[in-house]
Amino acid sequence: MKTACITGASSGIGRELAVALSNNGYRLILVARNSQALYELAKKLKTRCLVIPCDLANEEACMELAKKLSTYRIDILINNAGFGDIGNFHETKLETDLDMIDVNIKATHILTKELLPRFIKRNSGYIMNVASSAGLLPGGPYMATYYATKSYVVSLTGAIYHELKAQGSKVHICALCPGPVDTNFNNVAHVKFTLPGITAKACARYALKCMFKKKLIIIPTKTMKLASHSARFVPRKLMLAMTAKQQVKKMG
* 161 catalytic residue (yes or no): no
CA distance 186 to 178: 14
Q: What are residue 78's DSSP bridge partners?
A: 6, 128
Considering 146, 147, 152, 161, which one is annotated as catalytic?
146
Alpha-carbon gap, residue 33 to 57, rounded angstroms: 9
**Cβ atoms 146, 163 nearer than 8 A:** no
- CA 202/CA 181 separation, integer angstroms: 9
| Exposure string for 33-68, b = 16+ CB within 10 A, e = fewer | beeebbeebbeebebebbbbbbbbbbeebbeebbee
Distance between CA atoms of residues 44 and 155, nearest Å: 36
Closest among 176, 46, 49, 42 to 108, alpha carbons compared: 176
CA end-to-end span of the chain: 47
Task: Determine the Cα–Cα distance for residues 136 and 224; give it in Å rounded to an integer.
Answer: 10
The CA distance from 124 to 222, in Å, is: 30
SS3 call for 52: strand
Which positions are catalytic? 146
